[in-house]
Amino acid sequence: MSIAVAITAPHFQVFRCRDTDEQAAVLHGWNQSYCQLSPGAFDGSVTAIDTGAVHIVVEHLNRAVLQRGALSPGCVAIGVPLQLEGHSLLCGQRSHINGLHVFSGADGFEFRSPEKHVVVDIEFYPQRFANPALREALARIACKLGARATVLDMPGERMDTLRQLLRAMLDAVGNAPDLLDNPQVCEAFEKSLVYGLLDLLEADPLRESATLPSANRSWRLAQAARSHIEQSARDCPLSVAELVALLGVSRRCLQYAFQDALGLNPASYLRAERLNRVRQTMGEADSVTEAATRFGFWHFGHFATDYRALFGERPSDTFRRRHGQAVPSRFN
């Protein structure tokens, strides 16, 4: 069996497979067997990203395949479809583009994939996370996912938000595989995934019934949130979902507290804090990309626009100046 390895790096690998058995063999830890169902030459690929605590597999298939497998106990594994066209079932349940695929749990799984199939599979290993807050968030995620493989129907807009985050993160690492060699970028990568998934499963302001805080409580809650954000020179929450989890309050409560106490929403305040952290980090970072990804900015087009809007200059200009390089003059 020969598997073509297109790209290899410590945290990032791309495999090209011409046979279903080759593709199954690439997926370490899934204990998978593949059976091709539709006729024609098989052409598949696997992009694998490994941080130690999180393993991501982006799988492309051009033929319908029956997949059977089981993950190790303690692993939390989900699949986010990027493309699913055709008849598809997971453990007898209809699989669809806005279905969150749960692969972990007792009894393993059986997945009948369609011919046009691109899914981002994410494995979380809670015991490998050094950060207790991430382990606690994963415990909440595992509770939401349930004990067996299944398909959870999700609102399309929420799945689209998670898909956009995943595409941006995958593009960032694909374009610069050595990014994850930096421990701070690696931790930001893991946090973005954990809280992005938690946000998908828990964010539902229409169903929240928490009592809204009074003006004094709003100020105290906003102060507590700001304390979490500002407590470390190098680290801060990367998303509102993370901040909500750290504070143990509802998203609606936090939204109300920020609007009441500060006159802006928590997402805007958090974005400004993260942009300022990036600016402060420019002098020690090896690149703008490294500085941005340390604080969870994965979509570089949006990042550059937000940075320039806040500081009146491009991030590359700040980087050059902090490293003693000439900044090109510009006419506005």
Q: Convert the pLDDT of each residue in 182-212 to its tens digit.
A: 999 999 999 999 999 999 998 654 333 345 5
Measure the CA–CA gap between 85 and 98, rounded to whole angstroms: 12
Percent of the chain whose pLDDT exceeds 90: 65
Domain boundaries, the chain: 4-179, 209-322
Name the strand (E) or helix (H) holding 45.
Answer: strand 44-50
Give the neighbor-by-neighbor strand order of the sheet with 65-69: 33-36, 65-69, 109-113, 89-90, 93-94
pLDDT at 218: 81
Res 3 pLDDT > 90: no
In angstroms, rounded to a whole number, what is the distance separating the alpha carbons of residues 98 and 105? 21
Buried b (16+ CB within 10 A) or exposed e, 41-79: ebebbbbbbbbebbbbbbbbbebbbebbbbbeeebbbbb
- pLDDT tens column, 16-47: 999 999 898 888 889 889 999 999 999 999 99
Residue-level pLDDT at 332: 45
User: Distance between CA 199 and CA 251 in Å, rounded?
Assistant: 10
Q: What is the largest CA-CA distance in the chain?
A: 67
Q: Per mean pLDDT, which range of 154-163, 180-189, 205-214, 283-292 is the poorest?
A: 205-214
pLDDT number for residue 297: 96
Among the residue ranges 129-143, 219-233, 278-292, 303-317, the one predicted with the least confidence is 219-233
Instruction: Give the per-residue pLDDT at 185.
Output: 94
Report residue 248's pLDDT band, with 50, 70 and 90 as the boundaries: confident
Please tell us whether the domain made up of 4-179 is placed in CATH 3.40.1050.10. no
Which string of DSSP letters, residue by residue, matches 208-232? --PPPP-HHHHHHHHHHHHHHHHS-
Mean pLDDT of 307-311: 94
When the candidates are 1.10.10.10, 3.90.420.10, 1.10.10.60, 3.20.20.70, the CATH number that belongs to 209-322 is 1.10.10.60
Fill in the DSSP letter of residue 115: S
pTM for the model: 0.89
What's residue 8's pLDDT? 67
Structure-block tokens of residue 154? 């999700």
Confidence of residue 228 (pLDDT cuts 50, 70, 90): confident
Share of the chain above pLDDT 70, in %: 91
Could you give phi then psi for residue 288, rounded to 5 degrees? -65, -40
Residue 71 above 90 pLDDT?
yes
User: Confidence class of residue 116 from pLDDT cuts 50, 70 and 90?
Assistant: confident
> What value does the mean pLDDT take over residues 303-319?
95
* Average confidence (pLDDT) over 143-166: 94
* Total H helices, total E strands in the chain: 11, 13
Q: What is the pLDDT of residue 259?
A: 87
Return the half-sphere exposure (C-beta side, CA atoms, 13 A cut-off) of residue 330: 9
Report the pLDDT averaged over residues 175-186: 92
Question: What is the distance between the alpha carbons of residues 94 and 74, in angstroms, rounded to a whole number?
Answer: 26
CA nearest neighbour of 237 among 179, 307, 186, 295:
295
Residue 172 to residue 224: CA distance in whole angstroms: 32
pLDDT reading at 83 higher than 80 = yes
